[in-house]
């Protein structure tokens, strides 16, 4: 939603404007703020307010700093470089990493879809369980490769960490962070230079048309626009569409990460810093995690990847089955939901790296392809790219050089290419290609790449998400007769609800025994955990652009995969979107079975700038 171009808009000038306050921008602002506060360094001067330091603004979509980001286990190399005594800074919910375990979860129910090879592996594990570290239907791997470990690092709540960083930055007074202020678009002039950003219109109806209290979004002009709006951010995607991706770079692999933050029972055996990684259940393609914070609190959740070829891949239902696995439930039983959230993860890593810089802009963080897909590490890398850009900006400001593509290439991109972020990302670039063929080739491919520094890997060509989604009938062909599967779906859609619940019930998944503490309805998780909210006066940020395609689409994966049940079946086959429930995870962007007729690399769903979402700062 960019509002009417004919509307007279207020404008403001700054030196640097940042889009999104995630770890990358936090790293950028921290490093820049430290430089601006350095008493012995030559002063840097604003071009728009001569005599003053550079005017640096950051606009964040979420209603507060620390909303809508996820928990993390990190080696914290870059974080520690910025905060050498980070362990002593009293960041809530932070703990040094302790014991790390990788668990292969067997299926205690018999409902998951396991290949013959995996079924054989399961039988072997069960046959030799007395000789293995096998407990409660889980095999504790006796050895895990070093690249999976985060030894020496930290368990963090990103919400709490970001609140802490935000407070540090604001108290310095050198930069300003404005949450609750979505950016609708980058301003690009006729010379393809980014000249700033436009804030989202306020006081509009769901279609973006002026309504009571209409306030056109302000234009913020800046010499440099820093884009750190994450993997599904509208500004990053606008730049991709405008300037194109580099040759051979495609952001096609995704995952949805859904998590709970849980207060554990008083007698929990889990110690702060304990980390569990799981694979194998509830479906072989779904990976799980459990990170232990101080004071009997854990962050736990699952990742549902785009290469899990299911037309009904619901993260919420699967997360509950995962928690109920006997190995995990004995740790969680008696616990209580404290917070809940979901976000999309860019799983292409360096293969999805966009144009990092151009005239007037630079991209940092996860949306710039910084995530290491071998080690599953993203926050530290994102932070590092922000710091690298801050150093480049300080260098250019000091030399009074403009933020041209060439200058940013010579400063920011050079730093990034020379850093551990890039060298490790190169080694990881092909590590996950094997997952294009399935879980077992994927795991072998990761091991190969990890143990050989990326020299060996299992090849595999990534496919667009919509090219690999099977039909409902095909997916359930060995479980549910075709006509019955269709009838279940049609009945659910006629009632305006997603079909995955009924289909999973029919396919053998047991009902979730709601306890009102950890096991609860999806809507209660939104309200109790996510505290989801949407302020009035903003347009719908999810739109179904090509409605003929929606009418023809029988695989409404957007409905099935929606993390907040914000998308539901609608009349005439066109889904409904309820902004009040959206957590801005962006899953709809890639859980769409139809490509855009205008660009086969994009889906038929538009995920624009929007306001609201999670109101929890503990994720």
Partner 1 sequence: MNTAYQIVVCAGIVPDPLQTLEPVTGPSGPALKNEMMLPSVLDPWAGHALYEAANLARNCPGSKVWLVSLSPKVKLQQVMMTVAQKAPFELVPLDGPSSGFAEAAEVAAALAQAIEAIAGLDKSRLLVFGGWESASRGAGATMQMVGERLGIVDQFQGVDELKLHPDGSLEIAERIEGGRHQISRCAGLPALLGWATGNLPEPKNNPQTGMANMRGAIPALQKAKPVKLAGDGLSFASVALPKQLRETKIVRNAAPEDIAKEIVAWIKS
Please state, in angstroms and rounded to a whole number, the distance separating the CA atoms of residues 425 and 305. Answer: 19
Nearer to partner 1, 221 or 417 (CB): 221
Residue by residue, DSSP assigns 270-296 as: PPTT-EEEEESSSSTT-EEEEEEETTT
Considering only 158-166, 268-276, 301-309, 402-410, which stretch makes contact with partner 1 by CB under 8 A?
158-166
What are the two backbone dihedrals, phi and then psi, of residue 406, each rounded to the nearest 5 degrees? -65, -45
The answer to whether 95 contacts partner 1 (rule: CB under 8 A) is no
Supply the minimum distance, in Å, between the C-beta of residue 537 and partner 1: 7
The answer to whether 70 contacts partner 1 (rule: CB under 8 A) is no
What are the two backbone dihedrals, phi and then psi, of residue 380, each rounded to the nearest 5 degrees? -60, -40
- Give the tokens for residue 579: 């902004």
Site string for partner 1, 201-230 (x = CB under 8 A): -xx---------x-x--x-x----------
**Residues β-bridged to residue 72:** 156
Spell out the alpha helix ranges (H) of 86-180: 116-127, 158-172
Supply the minimum distance, in Å, between the C-beta of residue 62 and partner 1: 10
Query: Which residue of 29, 36, 76, 199 would you call a contact of partner 1, by CB under 8 A?
Result: 199
Residue by residue, DSSP assigns 204-246 as: E-TTS-EEEEEEPPPEEEEEEEEE---TT-HHHHHHHHHH-PP
Please state, in angstroms and rounded to a whole number, the distance separating the CA atoms of residues 606 and 603. Answer: 8
User: CB 424: neighbour CB atoms within 10 A?
Assistant: 19
Nearer to partner 1, 215 or 401 (CB): 215
Supply the minimum distance, in Å, between the C-beta of residue 59 and partner 1: 8
Query: Which residue of 171, 266, 478, 511 would you call a contact of partner 1, by CB under 8 A?
Result: 171
Helix (H/G/I), strand (E/B), else coil: 119: helix
Q: Residue holding tokens 């939603």?
A: 1
Nearer to partner 1, 163 or 355 (CB): 163
Stretch 580-599 residues interacting with partner 1 (CB under 8 A): 580-581
The answer to whether 387 contacts partner 1 (rule: CB under 8 A) is no
Nearest CA-CA partner of 603 in 554, 549, 563, 561: 549
The answer to whether 180 contacts partner 1 (rule: CB under 8 A) is yes
Query: Which residue of 231, 252, 618, 619 would you call a contact of partner 1, by CB under 8 A?
Result: 618
Supply the minimum distance, in Å, between the C-beta of residue 228 and partner 1: 17
Asked if 480 contacts 503 with a C-beta cutoff of 8 angstroms, the reply is: yes
Number of residues that bind partner 1 (CB under 8 A): 48
Spell out the alpha helix ranges (H) of 455-529: 472-475, 482-494, 500-506, 522-524
Considering only 115-123, 126-134, 438-446, 609-617, which stretch makes contact with partner 1 by CB under 8 A?
609-617
The answer to whether 537 contacts partner 1 (rule: CB under 8 A) is yes
The answer to whether 299 contacts partner 1 (rule: CB under 8 A) is no
Nearer to partner 1, 173 or 459 (CB): 173
Please state, in angstroms and rounded to a whole number, the distance separating the CA atoms of residues 210 and 323. Answer: 46
The answer to whether 64 contacts partner 1 (rule: CB under 8 A) is yes
Q: Residue holding tokens 């890593």?
A: 349
The answer to whether 12 contacts partner 1 (rule: CB under 8 A) is yes
Query: Which residue of 33, 74, 112, 181 would you call a contact of partner 1, by CB under 8 A?
Result: 181
User: CB 142: neighbour CB atoms within 10 A?
Assistant: 8
Please state, in angstroms and rounded to a whole number, the distance separating the CA atoms of residues 52 and 564. Answer: 45
Nearer to partner 1, 333 or 615 (CB): 615
Count of alpha carbons within 13 angstroms of residue 613, beta-carbon side: 29
The answer to whether 184 contacts partner 1 (rule: CB under 8 A) is no
The answer to whether 334 contacts partner 1 (rule: CB under 8 A) is no
Asked if 159 contacts 123 with a C-beta cutoff of 8 angstroms, the reply is: no
Supply the minimum distance, in Å, between the C-beta of residue 265 and partner 1: 16
User: CB 164: neighbour CB atoms within 10 A?
Assistant: 22
**Gyration radius of the chain over CA positions:** 24
Supply the minimum distance, in Å, between the C-beta of residue 176 and partner 1: 6
Nearer to partner 1, 252 or 293 (CB): 293
Considering only 160-168, 362-370, 470-478, 487-495, which stretch makes contact with partner 1 by CB under 8 A?
160-168
The answer to whether 160 contacts partner 1 (rule: CB under 8 A) is yes
Supply the minimum distance, in Å, between the C-beta of residue 173 and partner 1: 4
Nearer to partner 1, 214 or 243 (CB): 214
**Residues β-bridged to residue 596:** 599
Considering only 105-113, 195-203, 378-386, 459-467, which stretch makes contact with partner 1 by CB under 8 A?
195-203
Supply the minimum distance, in Å, between the C-beta of residue 47 and partner 1: 16
Stretch 478-517 residues interacting with partner 1 (CB under 8 A): 516
Nearer to partner 1, 529 or 595 (CB): 529
Q: Is 191 exposed, middle or buried (0-12, 13-18, 19+ CB in 10 A)?
A: exposed
Helix (H/G/I), strand (E/B), else coil: 493: helix
Query: Which residue of 156, 488, 528, 589 would you call a contact of partner 1, by CB under 8 A?
Result: 528
**CA-CA distances (angstroms) from residue 153 to 72, 80, 95, 261?**
10, 9, 9, 20
Supply the minimum distance, in Å, between the C-beta of residue 274 and partner 1: 21
Nearest CA-CA partner of 339 in 586, 520, 528, 160: 528
Nearest CA-CA partner of 588 in 571, 617, 615, 610: 610
Stretch 428-467 residues interacting with partner 1 (CB under 8 A): none
**Residue 110: alpha-carbon gap to chain centroid:** 30
The answer to whether 523 contacts partner 1 (rule: CB under 8 A) is yes
Considering only 80-88, 95-103, 325-333, 531-539, which stretch makes contact with partner 1 by CB under 8 A?
531-539
The answer to whether 176 contacts partner 1 (rule: CB under 8 A) is yes
What are the two backbone dihedrals, phi and then psi, of residue 84, each rounded to the nearest 5 degrees? -55, -25
Nearer to partner 1, 203 or 402 (CB): 203
Please state, in angstroms and rounded to a whole number, the distance separating the CA atoms of residues 221 and 225. Answer: 9
Residues that bind partner 1 (CB under 8 A): 10, 12, 57, 59, 63-67, 92-93, 160, 163, 166-167, 170-171, 173, 176-181, 199, 202-203, 213, 215, 218, 220, 338, 516, 521, 523-524, 527-528, 531, 533, 537, 578, 580-581, 615-618
């Amino acid at each position: 939603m960019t509002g009417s171009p004919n509307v007279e808009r207020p404008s403001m000038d700054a030196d640097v404007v940042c889009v999104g306050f995630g770890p990358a921008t936090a790293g950028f602002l921290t490093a820049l703020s430290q430089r601006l506060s350095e008493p012995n360094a030559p002063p840097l001067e604003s071009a728009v307010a001569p005599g003053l330091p550079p005017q640096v603004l950051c606009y964040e979509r979420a209603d507060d700093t620390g909303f809508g980001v996820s928990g993390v286990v990190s080696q914290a190399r870059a974080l520690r470089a910025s905060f050498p005594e980070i362990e002593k800074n009293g960041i809530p919910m932070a703990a040094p990493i302790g014991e790390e375990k990788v668990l292969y979860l067997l299926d205690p129910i018999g409902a998951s879809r396991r290949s013959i090879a995996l079924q054989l592996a399961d039988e072997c594990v069960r046959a030799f369980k007395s000789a293995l570290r096998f407990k409660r239907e889980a095999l504790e791997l006796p050895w895990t490769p070093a690249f999976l470990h985060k030894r020496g690092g930290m368990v963090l709540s990103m919400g709490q960490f970001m609140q802490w960083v935000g407070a540090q930055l604001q108290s310095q007074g050198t930069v300003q962070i404005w949450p609750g202020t979505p950016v609708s678009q980058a301003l690009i002039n006729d010379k393809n230079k980014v000249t700033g950003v436009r804030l989202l219109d306020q006081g509009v109806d769901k279609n973006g048309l002026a309504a009571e209290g209409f306030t056109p979004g302000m234009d913020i002009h800046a010499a440099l626009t820093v884009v750190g709006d994450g993997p599904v951010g509208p500004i990053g995607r606008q730049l991709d569409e405008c300037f194109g991706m580099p040759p051979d770079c495609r952001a096609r692999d995704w995952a949805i990460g859904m998590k709970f933050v849980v207060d554990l029972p008083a007698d929990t055996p889990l110690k702060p810093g304990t980390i569990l990684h799981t694979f194998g259940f509830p479906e072989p393609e779904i990976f799980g995690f459990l990170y232990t914070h101080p004071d009997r609190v854990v962050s736990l959740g699952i990742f549902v990847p785009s290469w899990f070829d299911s037309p009904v891949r619901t993260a919420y239902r699967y997360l509950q089955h995962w928690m109920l696995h006997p190995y995990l439930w004995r740790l969680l039983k008696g616990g209580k939901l404290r917070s809940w959230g979901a976000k999309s993860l860019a799983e292409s890593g360096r293969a999805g790296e966009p144009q990092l810089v151009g005239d007037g802009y630079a991209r940092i963080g996860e949306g710039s392809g910084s995530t290491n897909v071998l080690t599953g590490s993203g926050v530290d890398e994102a932070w590092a790219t922000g710091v690298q850009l801050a150093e480049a900006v300080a260098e250019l400001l000091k030399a009074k050089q403009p933020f041209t593509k060439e200058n940013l290439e010579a400063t920011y991109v050079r730093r990034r290419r020379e850093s551990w972020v890039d060298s490790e990302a190169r080694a990881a670039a092909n590590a996950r290609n094997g997952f294009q063929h399935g879980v077992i080739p994927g795991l072998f491919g990761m091991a190969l790449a990890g143990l050989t520094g990326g020299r060996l890997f299992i090849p595999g060509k990534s496919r667009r998400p919509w090219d690999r989604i099977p039909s409902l009938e095909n997916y359930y062909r060995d479980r549910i007769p075709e006509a019955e599967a269709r009838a279940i779906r049609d009945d659910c859609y006629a009632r305006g609800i997603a079909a995955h619940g009924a289909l999973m019930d029919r396919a053998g998944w047991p009902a979730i025994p709601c306890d009102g503490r950890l096991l609860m309805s999806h809507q209660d998780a939104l309200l109790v955990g996510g505290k989801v909210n949407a302020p009035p006066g903003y347009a719908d940020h999810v739109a179904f652009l090509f409605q003929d395609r929606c009418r023809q689409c029988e695989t409404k994966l957007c409905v099935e995969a929606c993390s907040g049940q914000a998308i539901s079946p609608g009349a005439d086959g066109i889904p409904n979107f309820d902004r009040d429930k959206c957590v801005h995870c962006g899953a709809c962007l890639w859980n769409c079975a139809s490509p855009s007729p205008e660009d086969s690399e994009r889906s038929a769903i538009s995920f624009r700038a929007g306001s609201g979402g999670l109101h929890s700062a503990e994720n």
